[in-house]
Amino acid sequence: MKNLIRAVVFGTALAATSAFAAPADSYPNKPIRIIVPFAAGGGGDFIVRAWSDKFAAEVGQPVIVDNRGGGNTVIGTEAVSTAAPDGYTLLIVSPSFATNPTLLPKLPYKTPDDFTPVGLVITYAMGLAARSSLDANNIQELLSLAKKTPTRFTIATSGKGSASHLAAELLRDATGLNLLNVPYRGAGPALLDVASGHVDMSFTGLSQIKAQLDTKRVKLLGTSGKQRLKSAPDTPTIAEQGIKNFEALVWWGILAPAGTPPDIVQKINHALKESLADPEVTQRLAVIDGEVQVSTPEAFGELIKSEIVRWRGLLADDATTTSQ
The pLDDT, as a whole number, for residue 322 is 39
Residue 147, phi then psi, degrees to nearest 5: -75, -35
The pLDDT, as a whole number, for residue 22 is 43
| Overall size of the chain counted in residues | 324
The pLDDT, as a whole number, for residue 93 is 96
Q: Do domains 28-123+251-315 and 125-248 have the same CATH topology?
A: yes
Residue 166, phi then psi, degrees to nearest 5: -60, -40
Task: Provide the residue ranges of all domains of the chain, joining segments of one domain with +.
Answer: 28-123+251-315, 125-248
The pLDDT, as a whole number, for residue 289 is 86
The pLDDT, as a whole number, for residue 44 is 86
Under CATH, what is the fold of the domain 125-248?
D-Maltodextrin-Binding Protein; domain 2 (3.40.190)
- CATH architecture observed for domain 28-123+251-315: 3-Layer(aba) Sandwich (3.40)
Among residues 58, 88, 90, 78, which one has the least CA distance to residue 275?
58
Residues with Cβ within 8 Å of 1's Cβ and at least 6 positions away in sequence, in order, are none
Distance CA 101, CA 107 (A): 7
pLDDT in tens, the chain (324 residues): 444 434 433 344 444 333 344 466 899 999 999 999 988 877 789 899 999 999 999 999 999 999 998 888 999 999 999 999 999 999 999 998 999 999 888 999 999 999 999 999 999 999 999 999 999 999 999 999 999 988 799 999 987 888 899 999 999 999 999 999 999 877 888 999 999 999 999 999 887 898 899 999 999 999 999 999 988 899 999 999 999 999 999 999 999 999 999 999 999 999 999 999 999 999 999 888 888 989 999 999 999 999 999 888 778 755 343 333
